[in-house]
Each structure stands twice: as structure tokens, then as C-alpha cells.
Amino acid sequence: MSRIVGIDLGTTNSLVAYMKDGKPCVIPGHHERTMVPSVVAMTDNGLIVGDAAKEHLTRNPAKTVYSIKRFMGKGLEDVQSELTYFPYALTEQGGVIRIKLGEKTYSPPQISAMILKELKRRAEAHLGEQISKAVITVPAYFNDSQRQATKDAGLIAGLEVLRIINEPTAASLAYGLQEKTQGTIAVYDFGGGTFDISILKLKHGIFEVLATNGDTHLGGDDLDHRIADLFLNEIHTAHGIDLSAYPNHMQTIRLEAERAKIRLSDELTTQITVDLPDGKTRFTREFTREQLETLAMDIIDRTLAPCRSALKDAELTPTDIDEVVLVGGSTRMPLVRQRVRELFGKQPHCDLNPDEVVALGAAVQADILGGGTTDMLLLDVTPLSLGIETMGGVMSSLIRRNTTIPASAKEMFTTYVDGQTGVDIHILQGERELAKDNRSLARFRLKVPPLPAGVPRIEVTFLIDANGILNVTATDMRAGQRQSIEVKPSYGLSDGEVERMIEDSFKFAQEDVTARKLIEVRLDAGALLATTGKSLSEGAHLIPHDVQESIRTAVTALQTATDGPDPKVIRGRMADLELAAKPLSVAMLDDSLKRGLAGKKVSELT
Amino acid sequence: MDHHTRSTGSRNIQMARSMCWHCQSAMSGEYFCERCVKVQPVSKETDYFTCLGLPRRLIIDQNKLEAKFYEMSRAFHPDFYQNKSETEQTISLGNAATLNTAYRTLRDPIQRAEYLLDLEAGSVKDIRTSPPADLFEEILGLQETLEAYRASDRASQEGKDLHTQLLAEHEALEQRRRDMEQQLQRLFTEWDTLQDRGEASGQTRAERDRLLKQMREILSNRTYVKSIVNDLIETIG
């Protein structure tokens, strides 16, 4: 069995991990950094991902996508309220948000796939083998559409997603492995865009989730926006400049707000400095932890209601919880820790790096699936109730929230009119009474043989698999025949669309490789130009004028090529320059040798 | 919930299996073929008690039940079938789903009793739409108070008085529910004792029917009271 990696596909950062000698470890990239910023930028030379793309946030905000996770499995109407800060253009097609980058539009799974590909590449470079299988984590409170979108992203990236697992439970696996804990634990996972609480019972290697709750639209992002809003108002009042007309500055402010927030986890006060677009004014202010906490208070308090609901569903009280585990970057804030401590009445655990623990847990789950780890088993639950719309627009619940998965329910359908040939079924997810208040997952039409009313008997099985994803099958009970069902997702890509996107991704893979090569070769060219420049200024006097001239010509040629789009041409010019500069480097070497030898006796040289 | 015909439990279609799907040898092992060691689908005929290896009793040792559930999860969970054939993966998925339903049903004493009634008496549970006789007047009074409270100005003295009254009614109903559960507990013990005796005389049959009838009545009363309580909680917040 080929290796399976564990991936934490985060709102702000993503990571990839694998199991090494029975221990999960995160795979580092350049400069030993383990986190890949979940940012994708469209440049003139193609798409770039991660740290390099993050730099484009302030340079070219309209074509730089961040926090894509917030749009996974969503329609445009779902996200209207929070579009102020997103500088890229959103449209909708077939119930799925599309992001417009230049001429092309991309679905959120396609953007996520670019991040996944970067992680895949990173893992392949580190491990020296092809990676084609992965476990990917999602917030526990993700609904079916959001999970399906994540699975689609994996497919588009050329990864077989063997399992979608919940982030807090993944974290519990990493903790459990380390501590061999027994008892009841609460995992409080507060990340960049989502909040989850999961309550688990750990016993003899079984990790049984008792209840889970959360908010898929609550995270550090919200706080960054809150802080940025404060600064924007102050800038407007003090300098009369409305920054919302300047997308680059909006991003600068947002990133500055995020950095200040992070600094204030360790410091009590910090300094904010932002250059304003008029080119002469500068916004400065002191920002204190107290001010941050005033702004953050209600956002943090919004995490407490889901915690209470989860406890209630698990039929537990805070005193029944043996340990509280903190996951996600936002749990670094002292106020968050204080609130958690107050709610559960105990000091929360944060021994493992909250940024890495989810990826580590995903690697453990990957190892379980691969057959490496056999003593641990995760029994997770479905976070939301699943049901169908019945007469009068009411939701009839078939599988209750917090039911252990895999879970199934059967429902018998018949007809109300003689000769009726179809029954429409509308699948819903959520906790509300009325169908319209819940998430519409899919609709389909059940084919029924034309018979008198009430005679047909079609049994529909709703099965939620171990990924928390719904599968529907139907059987005609009279004929004993299985019926294939074409389910049209309300907020998702159809199978055909996903297939096209996979094809596209292969087609564009060539472009992406070119873009990547171009970045690398430009860096190399830059380095060569710098050293040649240095050599010329130090050693031009050592070589004849015509050689100097030919070096300068080669330098100009390389500079011109570097601005162009073709890595091959750049490499060619680099070779030319190296050749032209050879006499110079030889002359400089001779010179330094000569100078080194000066004053030494011949006897010392032999 | 009652707009559709709900199939009761897992007892429908598919004949009990007697052969291994893979090597066609006669099945003697419980869930794994003794010859080729392949996992076998849990028969749809299997009731939840049998599925979890328990006798059909109403008082269950929760620790034992949990241990058995964990043990069987280790045998059936799809995590352990990733490298197996597609058929085995499908069987593991179906078995795990059945096991989870079985455990969820038997873990909760009320659901367990309702399920047993369903098995023993073979009928769907009664859904009560009018209050049980001994609760009739109390419920009628409560409905009036609820109406008055909904119409009242919550901030007024009248509203506050009604609120206090409703809180008291709530406590009284909760007490009712607890009493019913205690009654049920006694019937559970009686049932189990009768089953343990294992006689099949006319007298034990009559005894059996009496117990089932009483349990059914209390269960449906309890469901009714619970829905009234939920209504009450929703109104008073």
C-alpha cells in the first residue's frame, strides 16, 4: 500500500504530515517552515501558492485569493454579509460560488486544489516518492456540501481522499497517541475561520465522540476584520481618507490587524504603523491587549453557547470533563484561554503546537487506514441532523445530530395518485423545524412504476459514511430491484463538473509547472546578476575592454530575458553570461592567488 | 415523523444468510467465515440484542454493552477495511451502521424498551394525541394557563404570576415523568425475571402480555408528558 499523508487544509494555513517510525511529523518546506499560507495568487506567469502568493495580497489584491475555505460548499447568498474585505470578484454558477481571476473563473474546490497540490508537491519532494492518497481534515461542524466540496478539491488535485476527518477529533488522536489518555476530554478548536467543540470519551484506544457543535463562520478572521474596522474608522476621522477605495491598503490594514493581534498574545501593548495612499501621511497608534479584548469579547463569547450545547447533548456537565485541549491559532489569545478555563473550571491543555496538532492527527488517521496503527479507532458523529422535507414544508428528521457514523436510516415511499411515476425527495440538514430554515443538500426524483396510489413501495436508504458524507440508494420493494438515483446537489459541483475540473487541472498543470520553474529560474538569474555585478565592480581592471563589453552585453541580455515569460530563454542567457564572465572569474582568481603569494618565499610554496 | 410509513427496526427483506458470500461454504462463524475469514453481512433478520450478543432483557449492564460495542466496532469499522475488496468494504460499512444503530437503541432504557415491545408485540408504538385519563384535568388546566400566559404582557404582574405557576407545573410534570420511569424500571425487572424462568405455561403467557401492555401504556404516556414539557419549556423559555 502506498503512503497516505495527512493534510490540514486550513482557512489561513495548511500543513501536510506523515507517520515516521510510529510518530506523526509535519513536513517542512523552504526555511523549515511547516505552514503553507492558504493563499493563491494569479500572476502574469500563472498561479502561485503559499508564502510567495501571500506577498501578492497587498500588491495585487484583486487576483489574490485567501480564506477560500469560507466559501467551500456555499452559494453566494450565504456569504453576502462578509464580502467587504474580500477584494477578489465573486460570482455564482449552478449554486456554487466562482472566483474570477483574470479571464477564467474558479470554484472554491479548484482554488483549494491548488493549495493541496502545493502540499502534495512538498510531501513528494521531502519523501522522494509519488503521493496519491490523503486524509484531509475539515471542521467538525462542516455540513455535507462542505465535506463534499473538500473531497472534490482532493480529486481535482490528483489525490484520492481516503477519509475526511474532523479537525478536533484529529487533534484528539494526536494527543491520545502522545499521552495514552483515558477519560472524557473536550477539544476546543478555534481557528482562522471556524470554531468547533467536540467531546470525546477515550477508553482502551477507542476515541468515541459523544457530541460535537460549532460555528463554521466564526474565527480569527472575524476578529481581524473587527480590528481593521476600528483602524479604518480612525483613519477616516483623523485623515479624511476612506481606505475602502484602496484594495491594497485594505489588505495592508487587515494583515497589520492580524499581526498586532498575534503580538498581543505575548505583549500588553503594540505599535501600529500604516503608510496611507496619499504617500505622505502615516497612521500610527498604540494598540493594547485591553483594547483588543474589548473588541474580541463578544466574538469569543459566541464560542461558549456551542460548548454548552455539546455538553448538553453528551448529557454531561463541565465537571465531568477530565481534560480540555486547545487547538487552532486563535486559542493563543489569553482571553480565549481564560474563558475556556472559566467554562470548564480547569486549566486547558496546550502541550502540542495548536497550529500543527490537526495535521499530526490526520497523519495518525492515515496510518490507521494504511494498517500501520491498529490499536486506535475513532468513532465520530454526524454534527447535524439529516432529514427530508415532508408535507407542509416541515423537516422530518431521519438521522439525529451526534449519531455515531457510519449511520443509516430507511424510509418507505409510495404514491398518492394513481399512475404517478415519480416522487420528489428533498434532503435537508439542520436542526430547525421548517425545511426552508435548514440547509438544502440535494433533490432527486424517485422513479416509481405507474400503479394505483399507495401500491408502489420504494425503500430509500440514507447512509452517512465514515466521512460524514451522505449516500442515497433506493430499492423497489415489490420487484426487489435496486434503483440508481441521480442526486442533484443544491450547493455543490455535479460529477461531470468535477471531472472537467480534474481534466483542466491536468491541462493547466503544465502551465503551473512553467510558472513555478519561472519563479525559480528568476531567483537564480537574480543571484547570478548580483555576483557578476559585484565581480565587475571589483575586477573589471583585470580584463581587456572587449571582454568587459561582452560581459555587459550578456548582463543586459539576461536582464531582458528575466522580464520575459520563458524559463528556457533565461537559462540560455544565464549560460551565455557565465561563459562571458569566465575570463573575469579566472582573472580574479589569479589575482587573489598572486596577492596571496606576494611576500612568500619560494621554499614556502613547495 | 408520521407522514411516512416507517419501516420498523431492521427486520425486513433479505433472507437469513447461510452461506459465505465469498467461498460459498456453509456459515458457522458469527460474522466471519470460518473458512476464508471474510467478513459477512449482519443479517437483516438479526435483532439488536442478538447483534450485540445479548439476551432479550430490559436491564442491561452498561459497561458490558459498551465493551461489546467497542469490540465489534474494531471488527467492523470501515477504517480497517481500506485495503480490502470493494465487497468487503461495502459489508463493513453496512455492518458498522447497523451496529451503531443497535448500540444507540439499546444504550437508552426507553428506546430499548420501545424496541423490545416492537419485537415482542410486533407493532408500531402508539402515538397518543389526547392526554392519559389520570392526567386529563391537569393537562387541560395547564393548556389554559399556557394560553393565558401567551396572551399576557410578560412584564406585568399577571404575566409574572402565570410564569411562576407554569414553573411549578413544569416541576410537577417532571416528577410525573420520573415516577413513570421508576414504574418502568420495576416492570423491566419483572419482565427479566419472567424471561429467566423460561416457562411456557398459560399463566406465564398471560403474565407476559400484561407486562407488555403496561409497559406500552407507560411508554406512550411518558412520550406524551415529554412533548407537553417540551412545549412548556419553549413557551416559558
Q: Where are the domains of chain A?
A: 4-218+302-379, 220-299, 384-493, 510-597
Whole-angstrom distance, CA of residue B227 vs CA of residue B221? 10
Q: In sequence order, what DSSP letters do the residues of A292-354 get, joined into one string?
A: HHHHHHHHHHTTHHHHHHHHHHTT--GGG--EEEEESGGGGSHHHHHHHHHHHTSPPB--S-T
Asked if A150 contacts A134 with a C-beta cutoff of 8 angstroms, the reply is no
Compute the mean pLDDT over every residue in chain B, rounded to the nearest whole number.
Answer: 81
Task: Pick A606 or B196 by higher pLDDT.
Answer: B196
Test A408 with B94 for CB contact under 8 angstroms: yes
Residue A189: active-site member: yes
Residue A314 pLDDT > 70, yes or no?
A: yes
Assess whether B2 and B101 both reside in one domain.
Answer: yes
User: Cα–Cα distances in Å, from B219 out to A399, B104, B127?
Assistant: 22, 18, 10
Q: What amino acid occupies position A464?
A: I
Residue B219 pLDDT > 70, yes or no?
A: yes
pLDDT at residue A10, as a whole number = 94
pLDDT band at B4 (very low <50, low <70, confident <90, very high): very low
Is the CB of residue A473 less than 8 Å away from at least one CB of chain B?
Answer: no
Residues making up chain A, counted from first to last: 606
Whole-angstrom distance, CA of residue A221 vs CA of residue A142? 17
Mean pLDDT of A201-229: 93
What is the DSSP-derived secondary structure letter of residue A495? H
The tens digit of pLDDT for each residue in A498-507 reads 888 877 777 6
Whole-angstrom distance, CA of residue A212 vs CA of residue A196? 7
Provide the grid cell at A233: 474608522
Torsion of CA B165, B170, B173, B178, to 10 degrees: -140
The tens digit of pLDDT for each residue in A441-464 reads 888 888 888 889 888 888 889 999
Task: Pick A44 or A21 by higher pLDDT.
Answer: A21
Q: In sequence order, what DSSP letters do the residues of B12-39 get, joined into one string?
A: -SSPPP-B-TTT-PBP-SSSB-TTT--B
Mean pLDDT of A279-287: 90
Asked if A303 contacts A197 with a C-beta cutoff of 8 angstroms, the reply is yes
pLDDT band at A11 (very low <50, low <70, confident <90, very high): very high
Asked if B104 contacts B114 with a C-beta cutoff of 8 angstroms, the reply is no
pLDDT at residue B11, as a whole number = 33
- Per mean pLDDT, which range of A143-147, A154-158, B142-146 is the poorest? B142-146
Whole-angstrom distance, CA of residue A429 vs CA of residue A401? 9
Phi-psi region of A359 (alpha: psi -120 to 50; beta: other; left: phi over 0): alpha
Whole-angstrom distance, CA of residue A270 vs CA of residue A264? 7
Q: What is the nearest CA distance from B207 to chain A, expressed in angstroms?
A: 34
Residue A180 pLDDT > 70, yes or no?
A: no
pLDDT at residue A12, as a whole number = 92
Specify the CATH superfamily of domain A384-493.
Substrate Binding Domain Of DNAk; Chain A, domain 1 (2.60.34.10)
Assess whether B170 and B222 both reside in one domain.
Answer: yes
pLDDT at residue A527, as a whole number = 81
pLDDT at residue A1, as a whole number = 61
pLDDT band at B9 (very low <50, low <70, confident <90, very high): very low
Backbone angles phi, psi at A599, to 5 degrees: 80, 5
Q: What is the predicted ipTM?
A: 0.82
Whole-angstrom distance, CA of residue A138 vs CA of residue A129? 26
Assess whether B84 and B162 both reside in one domain.
Answer: no
Burial class (CB in 10 A: 0-12, 13-18, 19+), B175: exposed
Residue A222: active-site member: no
The tens digit of pLDDT for each residue in A220-269 reads 999 999 999 999 999 999 998 898 888 889 889 999 999 999 999 999 99
Mean pLDDT of B143-153: 83
Test B79 with A369 for CB contact under 8 angstroms: yes
Assess whether B147 and B208 both reside in one domain.
Answer: yes
Q: What is the nearest CA distance from A3 to chain B, expressed in angstroms?
A: 12
Whole-angstrom distance, CA of residue B219 vs CA of residue B237? 26
Tell me whether domains A4-218+302-379 and A220-299 share a fold: no
pLDDT at residue A585, as a whole number = 87
Question: Is domain A4-218+302-379 given the CATH code 3.30.420.40 in the classification?
Answer: yes
Range of the domain at B121: 1-125
Whole-angstrom distance, CA of residue A462 vs CA of residue A485? 12
CATH code given to domain A220-299: 3.90.640.10
Instruction: Pick from A169, A402, A410, A462 the residue to mutate for testing the B interface (most B CBs within 10 Å).
Output: A410
Assess whether B150 and B223 both reside in one domain.
Answer: yes
Closest Cβ opposite residue B83 in set A1, A377, A378:
A1
pLDDT at residue B123, as a whole number = 61
Going across the sheet that includes A96-101, the strands are A89-93, A96-101, A104-106
Closest Cβ opposite residue B4 in set A405, A406, A411:
A411
Residue B147 pLDDT > 90, yes or no?
A: no
Assess whether B230 and B176 both reside in one domain.
Answer: yes
Residue A215: active-site member: no
Residue B2 pLDDT > 50, yes or no?
A: no
- Per mean pLDDT, which range of A48-62, B114-128, B179-193 is the poorest? B114-128
Q: Closest chain A residue to B100 measured between Cα atoms?
A: A404
Count the domains in chain B: 2
Residue A576: active-site member: no
- Per mean pLDDT, which range of A6-15, A190-199, A302-311, B154-163 is the poorest? B154-163
Task: Pick B20 or A227 by higher pLDDT.
Answer: A227
Backbone angles phi, psi at B20, to 5 degrees: -70, 135
Assess whether B110 and B143 both reside in one domain.
Answer: no
Q: Name A599's Cβ contacts closer than 8 Å, sequence gap at least 6.
A: none
Residue A465 pLDDT > 50, yes or no?
A: yes
Q: Name A336's Cβ contacts closer than 8 Å, sequence gap at least 6.
A: A190, A300, A303, A326, A330
The tens digit of pLDDT for each residue in A508-555 reads 666 666 676 777 788 788 888 888 888 888 888 889 989 899 999 999
Whole-angstrom distance, CA of residue B54 vs CA of residue A288? 62
Last residue of a domain, one of B76, B98, B125: B125
Test B1 with A368 for CB contact under 8 angstroms: no
Q: Name B225's Cβ contacts closer than 8 Å, sequence gap at least 6.
A: B135, B173, B176, B177, B180
Assess whether B98 and B151 both reside in one domain.
Answer: no
Closest Cβ opposite residue B100 in set A378, A397, A406:
A406
pLDDT at residue A602, as a whole number = 54
Q: In sequence order, what DSSP letters do the residues of A191-254 get, joined into one string?
A: -SS-EEEEEEEEETTEEEEEEEEEETT-SHHHHHHHHHHHHHHHHHHHH---GGG-HHHHHHHH
User: Which candidate, A83, A92, A159, places its Cα nearest to that of A362?
Assistant: A159
Question: Helices (H) and strands (E) in chain A — how many of each?
Answer: 16, 30
Q: Give chain B's end-to-end CA distance (angstroms, integer).
A: 24
Q: Closest chain B residue to A164 measured between Cα atoms?
A: B79
Assess whether B183 and B81 both reside in one domain.
Answer: no
pLDDT at residue B16, as a whole number = 43
pLDDT at residue A604, as a whole number = 55
Cβ-Cβ contacts under 8 Å, A163 against chain B: 79
Asked if A385 contacts A401 with a C-beta cutoff of 8 angstroms, the reply is yes
The tens digit of pLDDT for each residue in B67-97 reads 999 999 999 999 999 989 999 999 999 999 9
Test B77 with A466 for CB contact under 8 angstroms: yes
pLDDT band at B5 (very low <50, low <70, confident <90, very high): very low
Percent of chain A whose pLDDT exceeds 70: 96
Question: What Rg do the C-alpha atoms of chain B give, in angstroms?
Answer: 23
Looking at A69-111, which runs of residues are DSSP E strands?
A: 89-93, 96-101, 104-106
The tens digit of pLDDT for each residue in A83-122 reads 777 888 888 888 889 998 888 889 999 999 999 999 999 9
- Per mean pLDDT, which range of A3-7, A14-18, A384-388, B37-41 is the poorest? B37-41
Assess whether B167 and B97 both reside in one domain.
Answer: no
Assess whether B211 and B137 both reside in one domain.
Answer: yes
Compute the half-sphere exposure of residue A502: CA atoms within 13 Å on the CB side of its CA: 16
CATH fold of A510-597:
Substrate Binding Domain Of Dnak; Chain:A; Domain 2 (1.20.1270)
User: Which candidate, A245, A241, A300, A297, places its Cα nearest to that of A274?
Assistant: A241
pLDDT at residue A598, as a whole number = 65
Test A396 with B3 for CB contact under 8 angstroms: yes
pLDDT at residue B17, as a whole number = 57
Q: Name A348's Cβ contacts closer than 8 Å, sequence gap at least 6.
A: A188, A324, A325, A326, A331, A337, A340, A341
Using DSSP's 3-state secondary structure scheme, residue A186 falls into strand
User: Which candidate, A550, A537, A538, places its Cα nearest to that of A579?
Assistant: A550
Whole-angstrom distance, CA of residue A450 vs CA of residue B80? 43
Test A408 with B13 for CB contact under 8 angstroms: no
Q: Closest chain A residue to B76 measured between Cα atoms?
A: A406
- Per mean pLDDT, which range of A139-153, B147-161, B168-182 is the poorest? B147-161
Q: What amino acid occupies position A542?
A: L
Angle of the A247-263 helix axis to the A220-239 helix axis, nearest 10: 120
Whole-model pTM: value is: 0.82
Whole-angstrom distance, CA of residue A332 vs CA of residue A292? 13
Query: CB under 8 Å, gap of 24 or more: what pairs does A530-539 form?
Result: A532/A577, A532/A581, A532/A584, A535/A581, A535/A584, A535/A585, A535/A588, A536/A584, A538/A588, A539/A584, A539/A587, A539/A588, A539/A591
Residue A377 pLDDT > 80, yes or no?
A: yes
Is the CB of residue A414 less than 8 Å away from at least one CB of chain B?
Answer: yes
**Tally of CB atoms within 10 A around A267:** 11
User: Which candidate, A266, A192, A279, A275, places its Cα nearest to that of A231?
Assistant: A275
Mean pLDDT of A416-420: 88
Interior/surface letters A559-569, b for 16+ CB within 10 angstroms, e for the rest: eebbeeeebeb
The tens digit of pLDDT for each residue in A568-599 reads 888 889 989 988 998 898 888 888 888 776 65
Assess whether B169 and B206 both reside in one domain.
Answer: yes
Angle of the A334-344 helix axis to the A304-313 helix axis, nearest 10: 30
- Cell 442515497 belongs to residue: A472
Q: Name B21's Cβ contacts closer than 8 Å, sequence gap at least 6.
A: B38, B40, B41, B87, B91
